[in-house]
Amino acid sequence: MKTIHDSAQLQNWLKRHQLDEIFPPDNMPKMRLVSMEAGEQIYQTGETLQKVHILVKGKLKIFFLQEDGSIYLIGFNQSFAILGDLELFEDYPLHNEVAAMEPSILIEIDKEELLRTCWDYPPFLRFLIKHVSQKFHSSSVKANALSRYPMESRLAAYLLTVYEEENQSVSFVKTNRYTDLANLLGCSYRHLHRTLQQFVENGWIEKSGRHIRILDYAVLKELAKDISYI
């Protein structure tokens, strides 16, 4: 993560996402513009929140890291998102790990600084409420969907999401270790494998090592129902 020393650009981003409206003009918190390269990660697991980040450009992947090291995909953030909003007023230990999927630009604000300047600024507080409410809503809808569909559907949904979000151009889904994918989908490695193989046998995907090519987009879409990892 590198700091971009360019206050004009910072102003630009603030304007573009109407962030200038949520901070008190006469008491702006100090912020830094930072860039992340594709693949770069912010590790925060276990600690308490120190900095709040606002994604203004690029795409992020959000993980949930468990004690045993296994990883769950939570979702993707694109163009605009806030990281750390939930933990701003409540000191939960962080569980999320964030990785940039493409070169991304974020605004970084120190938590204490943000609280000091915006503690009493209603537009900021309303902004926060809106975002947390939205997160809550989409997360419960997602959780509900995830828990009631079979692996087949969840896998289809996952493949489509990653395919669409990550590298449509290549029409390949690159996975990490399949063990991680299994954890992410909430099933055993064995079962993931079985299901993948079944997809291959049905001609829906093509698989070589950790590369998966989507062959029948429509069928997967049908299988995925309304599940979405976004």
Tell me the C-alpha distance between 61 and 41, whole Å: 9
- 203 near DNA (CB under 7 A): no
Please state, as a whole number, how many other Cβ atoms lie within 10 Å of the Cβ of residue 200.
14
Contacts of 87 (CB under 8 A, 6+ apart): 48, 49, 94
Q: Among residues 186 and 203, whose Cβ is nearest to a copy of itself?
A: 186
Q: Among residues 90 and 201, whose Cβ is nearest to a copy of itself?
A: 90
**Which of the stretches 37-45, 50-58, 131-139, 202-210 binds a copy of itself when contact is defined by CB under 8 A?**
131-139
- 16 near a copy of itself (CB under 8 A): no
Q: Which does 179 bind (CB under 5 to 8 A by kind): DNA, a copy of itself, none?
A: DNA
The single residue among 207, 216, 219, 225 that binds DNA, judged by CB under 7 A, is 207
The minimum distance between CB 146 and DNA, in angstroms, equals 11
Report helix angle 217-224 to 151-166, nearest 10: 120
Tell me the C-alpha distance between 24 and 28, whole Å: 6
Task: Compute the residue count for the chain.
Answer: 230
Tell me the C-alpha distance between 217 and 167, whole Å: 14
Q: Which does 4 bind (CB under 5 to 8 A by kind): a copy of itself, DNA, none?
A: none
- 144 near DNA (CB under 7 A): no
Contacts of 140 (CB under 8 A, 6+ apart): none
Q: How many CA atoms lie within 13 A of 100 on its CB side?
A: 24
Nearest to 103 by CA among 15, 16, 19, 2: 2
The single residue among 148, 177, 213, 221 that binds a copy of itself, judged by CB under 8 A, is 148
- 130 near a copy of itself (CB under 8 A): yes
Q: Among residues 137 and 194, whose Cβ is nearest to DNA?
A: 194
Q: Among residues 67 and 201, whose Cβ is nearest to a copy of itself?
A: 67
Contacts of 120 (CB under 8 A, 6+ apart): none
Q: Where do contacts with a copy of itself occur on this chain (CB under 8 A)?
A: 86-90, 92, 119-122, 125-126, 128-130, 132-137, 139-140, 143, 146-148, 186
Give the footprint of DNA on this chain (CB under 7 A). 150-152, 177-179, 186-191, 193-197, 207, 209-210
